[in-house]
Amino acid sequence: MKPILYTFRRCPYAMRARLAIASSGVGVELREILLRDKAPELLEASPKATVPVVVNGNEVIDESYDIMLWALEQNDPDAWLDRHNSELIAECDGAFKSALDKYKYGNRYAGSDAAEQRTIASEFLMKLDKTLATQRYLTGDVVGMTDMSIVTFVRQFANVDRAWFDAEPWPNLIRWLEEFLSSDAFTSIMTKYPKWQAGDPVTLFPELI
């Protein structure tokens, strides 16, 4: 049996897990979950009840970053791990994602000002833009783990108010994001699947596996 991946198409954490799995070519059984109606099998596998989750026999991996490493450490044909800035990824997953959530979902955070949080998040994006002014990707001239760990969250930020985002002075960041959005890698992970439930036919991912 192949490992099982519980995922949700639009979740940026699940997106980056699928990106790494697709790059690695490590085949999984994909199970699309609705966050408002989670499958009991997901809840049994991971008490966190969030996606993505990989179940590989008795092993359960329920952090997206760890799933990326799990896939790429098995097979890394594009050498993503050679371009892996763990500190920048941690900054994205920490302070930037916290500010992004308070900007995007401001009504969920009492006492938080969405505009202020957007400004805080923008400081990280300006840092990325400065890096991208001198090189094509975040760790050099070839795409790698760092880019694919961060870009799905930049996409989420941009989509809150795309007109505002595109008007900001970060042309290199916009170029980098647009290249990702038009890439085969992004297209390949955004196939729409029906909600999974027990008894459904197996869906393999990547699809050619």
Q: What is the mean pLDDT of residues 50-72?
A: 97
3-state secondary structure of 192: coil
Structure confidence at residue 155 (pLDDT): 98
What is the spatial distance between Cα 125 and Cα 75, in angstroms, rounded to a whole number?
30
- Check residue 94 and report its DSSP letter: I
Instruction: Say if CB 7 and CB 32 are below 8 A apart.
Output: yes
- Mean pLDDT computed over 165-181: 98
| 9-38 average pLDDT score | 96
- pLDDT at residue number 107: 82
Cα separation, 141 vs 25, whole angstroms: 23
| Full set of structural domains in the chain with CATH | 4-78+190-205 (3.40.30.10), 80-186 (1.20.1050.10)
3-state secondary structure of 55: strand
How do beta strands 53-56 and 4-7 pair? Answer: antiparallel
* The pLDDT of residue 109: 84
In the chain, the N- to C-terminal Cα span, in Å, equals: 13
* Overall average pLDDT of the 112-139 stretch: 97
Q: How far apart are CA 200 and CA 16, in angstroms?
A: 25
DSSP, collapsed to helix, strand or coil, labels residue 208 as coil
Residue 94 pLDDT grade (very low, low, confident, very high; cuts 50, 70, 90): very high
pLDDT tops 60 at residue 58: yes
- Residue 80 pLDDT exceeds 90: yes
Give the DSSP H or E segment for 204.
strand 204-205
Give the mean pLDDT of 169-193: 97
Residue with tokens 């199970």: 31
Residue 125 amino acid letter: L
Q: Is the peptide bond before 201 cis (omega within 30 degrees of 0)?
A: no
Predicted confidence band at 205 (pLDDT cuts at 50, 70, 90)? very high
Strands (E), 69-122: none
pLDDT of 209 > 80? The answer is no
What's the whole-number average pLDDT of the chain? Answer: 96
Question: Residue 35: its pLDDT value, please?
Answer: 87
Q: What's the pLDDT tens digit per position in 97-111?
A: 999 999 999 888 888
pLDDT at 68: 98
Mean pLDDT of 80-99: 98
Query: Does residue 60 carry a pLDDT above 90?
Result: yes
Residue 208 has pLDDT above 60, yes or no: no
pLDDT at res. 149: 98
Q: State how far the Cα of 166 lies from the Cα of 19, in Å rounded to an integer.
A: 25
